[in-house]
Amino acid sequence: MNDISSVYDKMSQADLARYLISAFRRAMLHYGIWFNEVEHQLGLEETLKIESDVAARLFPIVMKRLAKTLDFPMKDDIPAFLLEMPREKLNALIDAMCANWLAGDGVWFQAVENREGMDAAKRCNDTCWSRYSPLEASAIKDLIKLPDSGGLDALEQALALRLYARINKQSIERQGNSVIFKMLECRVQSARKRQNLPDYPCKSAGIVEFPTFARTIDPRIKVDCIGCPPDPHPAEWACAWRFYIE
């Protein structure tokens, strides 16, 4: 019988480090596969509730195990070193996490486009937003304890806490009984502009992304597109959306 530990004993330090990164990748994929299958079996609304329960149970376990392994103290389920970190560095770390999220989105898009073409990549992209957007809204509701029917006040808070908000410049303003959201600077469109490329036509994703986000915050909220590529738009913003409750 083979001694499995001997396989790891023969690995170099670099190979063990690569294994650690691979383990992280596999854990993320497994979490996503569970979400996908539960949604297939039970529907998105129920899955969001279940995922909320899973996150509340799982991540304290994960952090406690990491704290024990790496020998760092915890305080109220938060690594103490994050609480003691200078705010500038903590904000930089959050920005790096958000930028990595967007990089992953872009690399997935390009990988599908390179193998299957733009149409296939856009279809996958739009469908991903139909899943991710309500999931992000649900996570934000958990984070700041938003009520289920918090209306436009809750929506304003939630829009400001999206990952996009850390890496794109945006504005959120109240106009009467509506919230007007504008993406003033979009990393994707800015990168294309630097390469002398036309705007990426992201409206098909937006008409999935923003309504599903808003309905998860409050089912009464409706959304109108003011303008989004390929629509013409002023230089002051890349896209704009109106949220309201009838």
Asked if residue 56 belongs to a domain, the reply is yes
Give the per-residue pLDDT at 6.
80
Tell me what pLDDT residue 3 has: 66
Q: Is the Cβ–Cβ distance between 108 and 179 less than 8 Å?
A: no
pLDDT tens profile 110-144: 999 999 999 999 999 999 999 999 999 999 999 99
Please check whether residues 72 and 143 belong to one and the same domain.
Answer: no
In a domain, 8, yes or no: no
Cα separation, 32 vs 50, in Å, equals 13
Q: What span, in angstroms and rounded, lies between the C-alpha atoms of 2 and 16?
A: 19
Task: Point out the domain boundary residue: 29, 55, 84.
Answer: 84
- Which helix H or strand E contains 25, and what residues bound it? helix 13-42
Tell me the pLDDT of the chain averaged across its residues: 95
Please say whether the beta carbons of 183 and 168 come within 8 A. yes
Please check whether residue 48 lies inside any domain of the structure: yes
Domain limits at 203? 103-246
Look at the chain and report how many structural domains it folds into: 2
* Segments of the chain with pLDDT less than 50: none
Residues 162 and 234 in one domain: yes
H/E stretch holding 125: helix 118-144
Residues 190 and 233 in one domain: yes
80 and 130 co-located in one domain: no
Q: Cα 6 from chain centroid?
A: 39
